[in-house]
Chain A
Amino acid sequence: TRHRRAKKRGPPAQKRRGVVGQRARGGRGQGCALKQVQLNVTDLALGYRSGEEMIFRYCAGPCRKSETNYDKILSNLVQGKRLPPKDRPAQTCCRPVAFDDDLSFLDDNLIYHTMRKHSARKCACV
């Protein structure tokens, strides 16, 4: 049940403006949280030039190690160098599990663009 509780604690979307600190949820102080920042489309550095602004939501925060048996085993094996040296499987990290709606905008050349899966809606330690 400890693992089930930990898995469930991926926090839902928060709609706060600006960069905010981590939000503690439940007794264990879950770190992985949804955060947001307001940016110009140009600042996204994808090559678009547009004066429009948007909100970019991302996932950040520490994930407790060994959340699942898989993680426990994995970290043990990595430490014990029991896995092929070229394999370096990643540990759990805070990532989006759902994305925001598409965003459409008009660039400086008056051409419309649509970005999909550009911003997070829900985060979890995976």
Chain B
Amino acid sequence: MLHHTAKAISKFTITMNVGLSLKGDGASRSVPMDCVKASEQCLREYSCSTKYRTMRQCVAGRESNFSAVTGPEAQGECRSAIEAMKQSPLYRCRCRRGMKKEKNCLRIFWSIFQSLQGNDLLEYSPYEPVNSRLSDIFRLAPIIAGKPPSTKENNCLSAAKACNLNDTCKKYRSAYINPCTSRVSASEVCNKRKCHKALRHFFDKVPTKYSYGMLFCSCPAGDQTACAERRRQTIVPVCSYEDKDKPNCLSLQNTCKANYICRSRLADFLSNCQPEPRSISGCLRENYADCLLSYSGLIGTVMTPNYVRSQGISLSPWCDCSSSGNNKPDCDRFNQFFSDNRCLRNAIQAFGNGTDVGVWQPQPPIEPTEPGLTRTRTRDQNSNSLDTLTDMSRLDLNSDSAFNTCGMQAQKLVSNVSMDTTLCVVSFVKSKQLRGIISLPFLT
């Protein structure tokens, strides 16, 4: 019972949107319905289900270049089916991390996403925007709230203690450490698949104050060995991260895209941790909590990232850019999204410091006053001299970086799907109507 209430409190912000989405259609509210429910509802209605089936046949036919589908008559039918689908709740359905039929939901999302391409293409993450605040996590975290992390104490150790003292965290922690440390044979260090699955469960089920505490704990600049190394070991990297070979990052990306969950988590990460050099927070979406959530969502997929050095915050998936050939710039760019991402780094530091992005919310109430004085504080706060930021002042590329990256990646990284025009719409999320819509240029 205790477990349930604790879970309920910690997941309050996450489930808040979901509760609203289950009622009625998603057309009036900006809160979307989940794709499994939406497709069930559609299949129950005759008109919707016929259009849906037609649309799916169009997609299948298009992919296999089936001649019957490419004829003019069929194209007209396909177009009308697609137009009809845009009216249904399926059009803007989303999914939740760790939901019961997550893979199913994502499959439905991507099949619709691939079908409804065209001029009004808006690429976004299949996950509902959670819009939680770091401050919510802080308020509930007994360790961090109240006292700033000391530079002497091992914050990562304190986080582990907090986890052990909480039944949920303790249980799920052991549930992943066990498969990740069990040797299965002479040649295999562990059962990676089981380890990954258990890791995903951990980050899905355990309240973020505990899981983030161990993953994003801040380590003092001086004594790096114990604290930072413990932080690096959080995900049991020898099993879940390292491998005999290091693949090329772009080919790892393709491998990721072939799996619904990885693809979705990656889309979510690219969306929520998109850096914005002109913003003080460093993040385009101005929400540290969402960025951290998306990052932790990658753990347990093929794109599992981890800390690579004991110094500072430097993250990377298990891949490099050797043998990239002509694609080296794109490969480097992708790699840098992890290793040199101002938004992600700021978010992790903010968590460690116990601060947040002022009062930035992706969906602000329509108020004239904006108490943004706390902005500068988070930006310049290195009083604790925790993890060194090597390039706080360096701006990415040039002033139109967001748009440039968008265009370039759209051309290079798009695989051979029949979409020619990738409309990159980068909208600053202060506008209520455009909430949650961000461009993901690389996704097809």
Contact = CB atoms under 8 A, between A and B. Distances in A.
Are A and B subunits of one complex? yes
Contact of A51 (B154, B180, B233): B154
Contacts of A105: 160, 164
B177 A112 contact: yes
A98 interface: no
Given A102-B174, A104-B174, A114 B160 contact: no
A53 B167 contact: no
B229 A110 contact: yes
A53 B230 contact: no
Interface string A24-37: 00000000000000
Interface string A43-77: 00000000111110000000000000000000000
Contacts of A114: 174, 177-178, 181
Interface residues of B, number: 21
Contact of B230 (A38, A101, A104, A110): A110
A102 B179 CA distance: 13
B233 A103 contact: no
Interface in B170-193: 170-171, 173-174, 177-178, 180-181
A104 B173 contact: yes
Contacts of A106: 160, 230, 233
Interface in B154-168: 154, 157, 160-161, 164-165, 167
B236 interface: yes
A97 B174 CA distance: 21
A52 B160 contact: yes
Question: SS class of chain B's interface: helix, strand, loop or mixed?
Answer: helix
Interface residues of A, number: 17
A23 B348 CA distance: 45
Contacts of A104: 173-174, 177-178
A55 B174 contact: no
A3 interface: no
Contact of A52 (B2, B161, B167): B161
A92 to B, nearest CB: 29
Contacts of B160: 52, 105-106
Contacts of B233: 106, 110, 112
Nearest to A41: B164
A122 to B, nearest CB: 14
Interface in B212-268: 226, 229-230, 233, 236
A103 B157 contact: no
Nearest to B2: A15
18 contacts: A15-B2, A51-B157, A52-B160, A52-B161, A52-B164, A53-B165, A54-B164, A101-B167, A101-B170, A101-B174, A102-B171, A103-B164, A104-B174, A104-B177, A105-B160, A105-B164, A106-B160, A108-B226
* Nearest 6 pairs of A and B residues by beta carbon: A104-B177, A104-B174, A102-B174, A53-B161, A101-B171, A54-B164
